[in-house]
Structures are given as structure tokens and as C-alpha cells.
Amino acid sequence: MNFFFHAWREVFRFFGDSTQKYQIVIYSEGGGYDPFFRPVVDALQGTYDGIIGYLTSDAADPLLLSPPSHLQSFFVGKDSARTYALNNLRAEIVVMTMPDLNTFHIKRSRHVKHYAYIHHTPLSMHTIYRKGAFDHFDSIFCTGPHHMEETREWEDLHSLPPKQLFEHGYPPLDTLMQVAKDAPPLSTDKDERLNILLAPSWGAEGLMETRAEEAVGVLLDAGHFVRVRPHPRSRQLAGPALDALKVKFDPHPSFDMDEDTSKFEALLKSHMMISDWSGVAMEFAYGLERPVLFIDVPQRVNNPDYRDLDASPFESKLREEAGAVLSPEKLSEMPLMLADLWSDVESFGQRVRKLRTKRTYNIGTSAKRGAEILSKLAASI
């Protein structure tokens, strides 16, 4: 299929439908964001009477291929058709998980009254994102108190008008917790080998890009089963390295590589996770009540000005609370540290149940809360 022309046909169809005026329009960069949008979209069926417009850059997006009855979906691609569509939108509310609005080629449309940002990671807003990534949104759906604190402090520092901040939560965490209730129980026999999930973030100095081969080798030599779950951006930026890792270890019966980050199976089957600075570590620790070993490679920072904030980054707190931290120069010590963490897994679960309620809004009800927020916004604009 020629996606360029297909995207333009869909954009013409979106703007040419004179019978439908979309009060709410959602833009998704791709199917990987389905876990963030779908729970809220589904919950809107009970709180919102209108038809929602849904624009996606992914021709395989599940909400494009099988949209619910209250969603009208359109494929807009990633190039000029998308730019035209987003810059000329007509809606009262536009919902996005894409930051940097009004910074590059995607601008605020003068025909949109309100731009709402839904977080697709619980990580801090001013470390992994560029400076000013959220300055041009009207509201933020916050996963926890840290997003509230960071936003208000950033606004004060830069004399920005205050946004509407909503206590939303984190739908993927709720979904994982629900799925885990119905999943087969994981063996907790201390004498059995452990299933270890290697799931780092991405970046030139990240664990996957710099030390993954060494880490996998150490874990396999220690007798563990190792599943590697690279971040999608690692595939884009370091594809040859991932291919080389797979070629080297694929013959080993205790190795697997799983690149489908839209599913929870890899998390559910793992006793523990090894990560660096990834947000999925929060899902694993808080959702499954299992510890994480963090390898202390340099953090990916896209906004050095985050140091101007008094608030400590969420990911730093997470690493202190959700497991243990190990220097990348001491990977040979991973098996011993993993054994220590697993020996304390019961008390870890008790601690993390308190932490997730403290760090995350609306545990178990974030989708319902997100739908209520959007419905009230739509009624008030």
C-alpha cells in the first residue's frame, strides 16, 4: 500500500465529512500507545455521548482496524498529511501523548480550544523530555503527585500561566494488575532457576546499547532464563546491535528476545527485571510486586535545566524504592544481587503496595477517572 496517498485520502475524508463535528479528537503516534488510550476510550462509552475522532500514524493501530462504535478512526501517516491534519484541526479538545506541541512542525491549531496531554510514562517530565515540551498544553493528565509538583515548579520558574492539572493515574499499571490476577501463579521456589527480564530504556549510553551482551552472558552462565525486551526506540536506533545479540544467544535454550512491548506476557513470566532508567520498571515493581535490579548507566537527559527544580526526579526515587542499583562495571555481581532481592520478595511486596498508592493516582480506576475528566472538560468548553 502507498501510505503517502492513503494518508492524504484519509485526511480528506476526515475534513470532508460535513455531517460530523468532533468535539473530542485523539491523536496517536501508533499502536504502541493503545494501552494508554484504549482504557480511557472504552470508559468514555459510559460518560460521553458524542463520537470521538481518532487520528493515528500507524496503519496497524488496533483502534484503527477495530474501532469501538463511538470512535471514528482515520490514518494520517507520519509525513505531510499528518502535519496538515494536526495543524488545521477543528475540535474543542485534542488529546495527545506526543510532547513538544508548538515547538517543531506540529503546531496548535487556531480552531482548537483545548489541548490535553496524557502521559505515556510515569517518569519525570523534565529529564527525558526537551525543555518546554509541555508548555503549550492547556491541561496535563498526571500519573502521580510528582507530575503535579514538577509542572507547578516549572511554571513558576518560567512565569508560565498555570495549566489545568488532573489526578489521572496510569492505565497500563491498572491493566497489568488486573491481568496478573488471572495469570497462572509464578513459582516462588527459592531453589528453582529464575526467569529474568532484561528491559532497559533506550539511548546511546543505555544498558541495551552498551552492556547487553555482557549482561546476558553473565545471567545465562549463572543458570537463569533470560528474556530480552528492548525498547522500540532501541530497535530504531540500534537495530544491528539487537540483531547481533539475537544471533549470538538464540542457540541457547534459556534465551529469548521479545520485541512486542504492547503485551504483558514477558512481564508476567518473569521473577525479576533488570533495567536502567525505564518506566516499565515501575509497571513491573508496582504492578507485579516483584523487585528490579537497576544498572547504573548514565541517565538519558534531554533537558539539563531539570536541575533547576527542587523536586527529585521520579525515576531516582523509583530506583531507591523498587529494588537495588548496581554499577555497570560490576555486572558479574548480578546473580548474587538477584538472589538477595528474591530472598526478600515477600516483604518487598508489602512495601511496594504502600508505595504505589503514594506515588500513583487512582489505582485500579484511572481509566474511569480519565473518561470523567474528558467528559467534564467537553461539557465545560
Q: Does domain 175-359 have CATH number 1.20.1090.10?
A: no
Which residue ranges does the chain devote to CATH 3.40.50.2000?
175-359
pLDDT higher than 70, residue 231: yes
The per-residue pLDDT for 1 is 67
The per-residue pLDDT for 312 is 84
C-alpha dihedral over 303, 307, 308, 310, to 10 degrees?
Answer: 130
pLDDT higher than 90, residue 277: yes
Give tens-digit pLDDT for 127-138: 999 999 999 999
pLDDT-derived band of residue 18, with 50, 70 and 90 as boundaries? low
Give tens-digit pLDDT for 119-175: 999 999 999 999 999 999 999 999 999 999 999 999 999 999 999 999 999 999 999
The per-residue pLDDT for 321 is 92
pLDDT higher than 70, residue 19: no
pLDDT higher than 80, residue 83: yes
Residue 88, C-alpha cell as written in the block: 488545521
pLDDT higher than 70, residue 358: yes
With residue 164 as reference, give the H or E element that holds it.
strand 164-167
pLDDT-derived band of residue 46, with 50, 70 and 90 as boundaries? confident
Distance in angstroms (rounded) separating the CA atoms of residues 216 and 198: 8
Give tens-digit pLDDT for 287-296: 999 999 999 9
Which carries the bigger pLDDT value, residue 43 or residue 231? 43
Pairing between strand 71-75 and 52-56? parallel
Exposure string over 95-119, b if 16+ CB within 10 A, otherwise e: bbbbbbbeeeebebbeebebbbbbb
The second-level CATH assignment, the architecture, of 3-170+363-380 is 3-Layer(aba) Sandwich (3.40)
Q: What is the mean pLDDT of residues 183-199?
A: 83
The per-residue pLDDT for 188 is 67
Mean pLDDT of the chain: 94
> What are the residues facing 226 on neighbouring strands?
196, 255
Which carries the bigger pLDDT value, residue 26 or residue 193? 26
Identify which of 103, 142, 107 has the alpha carbon closest to the alpha carbon of residue 125: 142
Give tens-digit pLDDT for 295-337: 999 999 999 999 899 988 999 989 989 999 999 999 999 999 9
pLDDT-derived band of residue 20, with 50, 70 and 90 as boundaries? confident
pLDDT higher than 80, residue 190: no
pLDDT higher than 80, residue 192: no
Alpha helices per DSSP H over 49-189: 62-65, 80-87, 145-157, 171-182
pLDDT higher than 90, residue 65: yes
Residue 147, C-alpha cell as written in the block: 507530575
The per-residue pLDDT for 262 is 77
Give tens-digit pLDDT for 100-118: 999 999 999 999 999 999 9
pLDDT-derived band of residue 381, with 50, 70 and 90 as boundaries? confident
pLDDT-derived band of residue 52, with 50, 70 and 90 as boundaries? very high
Question: Is 153 within 8 Å of 311 (Cβ atoms)?
Answer: yes
- The model's pTM is 0.93
